[in-house]
Amino acid sequence: MVALVAGLPLGAPPARAQTPAAVPAAAAEAAPPEEPLVPPRLVAGSPPAYPPERTEAVTVVITVVVAPDGSVREVRALDGHAAFLEAARGAALRWQFEPARRGAKAIAATVRIAIDFAPPPMSPGPPSSSHPLPPQPLEEIVVRGTRVAPPASVNLGRADIRQMPGAMGDPLRAIDVLPGVLPTLSGLPYFYTRGAPPSATGYYLDDLPLPYLFHVGLGPSIIHPGFVRTVGLESAGGHARYGRFTGAFVVATTNPPTEELAWEGRIRVIDSSAFVAAPFANGKGHAAVGTTLSYAGLLLGVFAPDYTIDYRDFAARVSYDVGPRDRISIFSLGAYDFAGQRDVESGQRQVLFGSEVYRVDLKWQRSLTGEGALRTAVTWGYDRSRLAGHRFASDQSIAARTALVQPFGPRWEMEVGADARIDSFDADLPSVHSLTRADYEETARLFGAHTDTVAGSYGSLTWRPLTTRGPRESRVTPPTLELTSGVRTAVYSSEGRTLPAVDPRMSLVLAPASRVRLLTSHGLAHQAPAYSLPVPAVSIPALAGGLQESLQSSVTGEVTGSHDLVGTATVFRGVFSNVSDFVLLQNDFPLKRSPPLRGAADGLELSLRRALKGRFGAQVSYTLSRSTRDGERESRRLSSYDRRHVVNVALLFDLGRGWTAGARSLVYSGLLRDPESGSTDRLPAFMRLDVRLAKRWKWGKAGYVGLVAEGLNVTASRETVALRCDDAGCKARNIGPLTLPSVGIEGGM
């Protein structure tokens, strides 16, 4: 499926809110300023074919030079993957336009066009129709459904989850519906992934690393959804561009700059948000800003008075095309989160999570000959987390990175990159009189000021031996094959100690038939020592305990059936060494580092999905896993965060006349009752039900207004996280019920 999402109208307004009409970036012929300028208009041509050898959802940006006679004089690649850029270029060279005009005179003009590619649900190949792009009403062109991904990754687009109950219309919040993702606690912004602890999961916005991506307490992502295009889960054994974490990577990609004014806003009973984007300087520059402000604490005061939640964020992006091949951009963001709970026995309010994150990222991008791309960026960061009482830990960082992607014909593609980062950690220490001398010295050692550095590089090479290509388009019929091999290197340094790491990676995609794919990935990953529950601005100094290591392998089979159903089955195994482990919330010192352990995780992931086409859609996933740990002085036992079963069932319904409804159920096994004893007795299982009902009206030619009613955890379920026992008996320690009913109004253009 290929959709022109930011380009030229064909006798009709743009097809969606992010589908602007083309705006001339430059005019080749001068004209009197008082004469009106009319941009070129597409009158004939077909959309580009989806490259059959590819599997991902991608947006590319090209510039098209339209001659005074309406023909396409030149097509230049600006941003995107080489295979998709070549497909877009081949199609654009055959387009015919009504030329741009200055008054009554036809002139040459350059326009920028963004093209949205999504994999076809059936067999790949060029589109069956050669008719011009048909006009579509607002909100009807939506990339949905069978968005398949490279090995070791699963991607979701914003359209995939806009109606997902529990996601609150936020792409990042839908990540926990994927198989292999196990919640730590319902509402916390951290996950177990295939047997790895939460600290082993990395978070990326494009190529910008972040400490986390989600607000606490079932809130939205810390980046306004208007910026986010897709979100994916990438295994640590996947592509070499991602590293320094031993579990997985949650990777969000941002929307390309819009070519005309676009905005969206939302007012709910728990928070409000707004997003505005617009071009400037005749289309050479683009600016966007988004923000979210929560007042969920007021609602919790009624439904859950023992809890306090507060969150807010802002983000801004400004980019400018300094030349036909060069773009500079600056992106900044800030996020604040706080969650607290009043202790029933003492009556005092305990801090469950308190954090602030700030980033300023300056990036330069250049399009190279042969459809390559070079990116270089410098990032300043500041993180702060609240410890006990009114004490804080902080981390100020500076980082630099560069990456080069260069295809060599249709069969080979190279990607190399390097980066470095310096972190300066500090913390407010308690009074020396409040602790024993030994405890104070240990606290000062763990939280005292120190500086950590890490530098490294990576390279990968992709080979597609069965690809053939004509002068204008790609044609591939099954079987198809794609093999990617790569390696990452890194050098970690802290408190005078230096440790190197080398991580080889390999993945393969084989499509023996048009409806069948086999995917496999294998890789080694290293990570600096960390607390199992990641806390921004808190690190373990001097690389104590050495680097953590994991070896991960997975094999996936995927079948596309009738009625747009896509089923997948994955078998995975992870072997971990020198990892951190802890008993979640069952002791008074969750930050206390435990001795390094060895372990393994094995599991089976099943998924069945159908995009909301027609009247019905579904997303069903099941994970069966077993996570074990063993130390130097103890035999193998189940991990403290082993959850044997996780089931997600989401049903979506189109009721007609703009009405949609959905329900989602999340069920998972309880934690082990006493992990230290080796017993397999578990705490009670947890079940949560989310519901959503929405109505949307079209507004004008390019706008919409909607009413959304959502309920998160409408069953008011409590989650048992520990069992405290004494001579008087055992008492369960519960979290919740964390219930958030929400009614909101949304709109945009």
Task: Work out the pLDDT band at 5, boundaries 50, 70, 90.
Answer: very low
Order of strands across the sheet that contains 208-210: 153-157, 228-235, 248-254, 201-205, 208-210
Q: Higher model confidence: residue 359 or residue 88?
A: 359
Query: pLDDT by residue (tens digit) across 716-742?
Result: 888 877 777 777 777 777 777 777 777
Q: Cα separation of 430 and 445, whole Å?
A: 13
Q: Are both 174 and 104 inside the same structural domain?
A: no
SS3 assignment for 681-740: CECCCEEEEEEEEEEEEEECCCEEEEEEEEEECCCCCCEEEEEEEECCEEEEEEECCCCE
> The CATH number of the domain where 109 resides is what?
3.30.2420.10
**Residue 162 is assigned to a structural domain of this protein:** yes
Q: Cα separation of 122 and 272, whole Å?
A: 40
- 600 near 594, Cβ under 8 Å? no
Q: Are both 306 and 433 inside the same structural domain?
A: yes
Helix/strand/coil for 414: strand
Taking Cα atoms as reference points, which of 627, 541, 638, 632 lies closest to residue 595? 632
Q: What is the pLDDT of residue 158?
A: 57
Q: Are both 184 and 40 inside the same structural domain?
A: no
Q: Cα separation of 359 and 209, whole Å?
A: 10
Task: Work out the pLDDT band at 198, boundaries 50, 70, 90.
Answer: confident
Q: Cα separation of 556 and 354, whole Å?
A: 38
Q: Are both 88 and 163 inside the same structural domain?
A: no
Q: Which of 268-282, 324-338, 415-429, 698-712 has the lowest mean pLDDT?
A: 698-712
Angle at the Cα of 494 from the Cα atoms of 491 and 497, rounded to 5 degrees: 75
Residue 170: which H helix or E strand, with range? none
- 136 near 15, Cβ under 8 Å? yes
**Residue 253 is assigned to a structural domain of this protein:** yes
Please give the residue range of the domain that contains residue 345.
153-748
Q: Which of 152-156, 243-247, 394-398, 418-422 has the lowest mean pLDDT?
A: 152-156
Mean pLDDT is highest, among 405-414, 471-480, 518-527, 648-657, for 518-527
Average pLDDT over residues 93-101: 85
Residue 642, burial from CB neighbour count under 10 angstroms (0-12, 13-18, 19+):
buried
Question: What predicted TM-score, i.e. pTM, was given to this entire model?
Answer: 0.74
With 50 as the cut, is the pLDDT of residue 496 above it?
yes
In the chain, how many domains are there?
2
Q: What is the DSSP letter of 447?
A: H
**Residue 325 is assigned to a structural domain of this protein:** yes
Q: Are both 685 and 585 inside the same structural domain?
A: yes
**Residue 298 is assigned to a structural domain of this protein:** yes
Amino acid at 198: P
SS3 assignment for 517-551: EEEEEEEEEEECCCCCCCCCCCCCHHHCCCCEEEE
- 722 near 590, Cβ under 8 Å? no
Task: Work out the pLDDT band at 500, boundaries 50, 70, 90.
Answer: very high
Averaged pLDDT of the chain: 78
**Residue 129 is assigned to a structural domain of this protein:** no
Q: Are both 430 and 557 inside the same structural domain?
A: yes
Angle at the Cα of 683 from the Cα atoms of 678 and 689, rounded to 5 degrees: 145
Q: Are both 18 and 113 inside the same structural domain?
A: yes
- What is the gyration radius of the CA atoms in the chain, in angstroms? 26
**What are the percentages of helix, strand and coil residues in the chain, rounded to 5?**
5, 55, 40
How far is CA 252 from each of CA 95, 175, 223, 722, rounded to the nearest angstrom?
A: 33, 10, 10, 33
- 6 near 259, Cβ under 8 Å? yes
How far is CA 67 from each of CA 110, 325, 610, rounded to the nearest angstrom?
A: 9, 20, 44
Q: Are both 91 and 179 inside the same structural domain?
A: no
Average pLDDT over residues 201-225: 84
Compute CA 665 distance to the chain's CA centroid, rounded to the nearest angstrom.
Answer: 22
Cβ burial 592-627 (10 Å sphere, 16+ → b, else e): ebbebbbbbbbbebebbbbbbeeeebbbbbbbebeb
Q: Are both 591 and 723 inside the same structural domain?
A: yes
How far is CA 245 from each of CA 175, 177, 235, 383, 491, rounded to the nearest angstrom?
A: 18, 22, 10, 19, 14
The residue among 89, 117, 145 that closes a domain is: 117
Q: What is the pLDDT of residue 247?
A: 85
Q: Are both 243 and 105 inside the same structural domain?
A: no
With 60 as the cut, is the pLDDT of residue 510 above it?
yes
**Residue 148 is assigned to a structural domain of this protein:** no
The residue among 117, 145, 175 that closes a domain is: 117
Q: What is the pLDDT of residue 254?
A: 87
Tokens for 466? Answer: 């069965």
**Residue 78 is assigned to a structural domain of this protein:** yes
Mean pLDDT is highest, among 262-271, 310-319, 688-697, for 310-319
Tell whether omega for the bond before 479 is within 30 degrees of 0, i.e. cis: yes
Average pLDDT over residues 655-661: 87
Average pLDDT over residues 149-166: 59
The residue among 95, 117, 139 that closes a domain is: 117
Q: Other CB atoms closer than 10 Å to residue 530's CB: what's the count?
A: 22
> The CATH number of the domain where 276 resides is what?
2.40.170.20
Strand-pair partners of 630: 598
Q: Are both 590 and 475 inside the same structural domain?
A: yes
Q: Higher model confidence: residue 24 or residue 599?
A: 599
Q: Are both 104 and 244 inside the same structural domain?
A: no
**Residue 374 is assigned to a structural domain of this protein:** yes
Using CA of residue 534, residue 538, residue 540, residue 546, what is the dihedral sign? positive
